[in-house]
Structure 1
Amino acid sequence: MKELSILAFKRIIRQAGARASDEAARELARLVEEMAREIAELSKTLAEHAGRQTVKEKDVQVAVKEWKAR
């Protein structure tokens, strides 16, 4: 965990037009990181299924579609 900067998420919340508490920024970072890990895992599975070790852009795009459909 803690791969993503809390300050970056405070900035994102401010760009959306709101003030952000540290707790809100931490929670947003936690959720985004969790989503990214799930999508990365799906992407890896797709690459392996295609006989590759390298995840390609298309793997990520398909993984996002699958993730959204859940």
Structure 2
Amino acid sequence: MVKKRKIPKSKSKVYIGGCAETLMPEIPLAPIERIFKKAGAERVGEDAIIALRDVLENVAYEVSVKSIELAKHAGRKTVSADDVKAVVRIFKCINLS
């Protein structure tokens, strides 16, 4: 059983057009800690949980923005799963090669 502890909430920085805008975090910290545990971590520092949450929120924001652009380019108001998958495929080619 995972020991419950109080994790301080921090303000996440979302990078918009190259400059950081401080926003309240959207992703709760507990699921991030569970992901670390599933990956095999015995212990996880609060700073690591907050850092991963901030990274995930920044990536989610960027993928959302680009997915919206794809939907608009296709003449749609609704973002589809295909838009998101296409953006992730593009990001993988650019960032992970």
Tell me the residue number matched to 2:16.
Answer: none
TM-score by length of 2: 0.69
TM-score by length of 1: 0.93
More strand, by proportion: 2
Taking only the aligned residue pairs, the percentage that are identical comes to 37
Letter in 1 for 2:62: E
Q: Flag the structure with more relative contact order, 1 or 2, with Cα contacts below 8 A and sequence separation at least 6.
A: 1
Q: Which runs of 5+ in 2 are unaligned?
A: 1-23
Count of residue correspondences: 70
More helix, by proportion: 1
CA RMSD of aligned residues (A): 0.9
**1:28 positional shift:** 0.4
Q: Which runs of 5+ in 1 are unaligned?
A: none
Larger Rg: 2
Give runs of ≥4 in structure 1 deviating > 6 Å: none
CA–CA separation in structure 1 for the residues paired with 2:86 and 2:55: 20
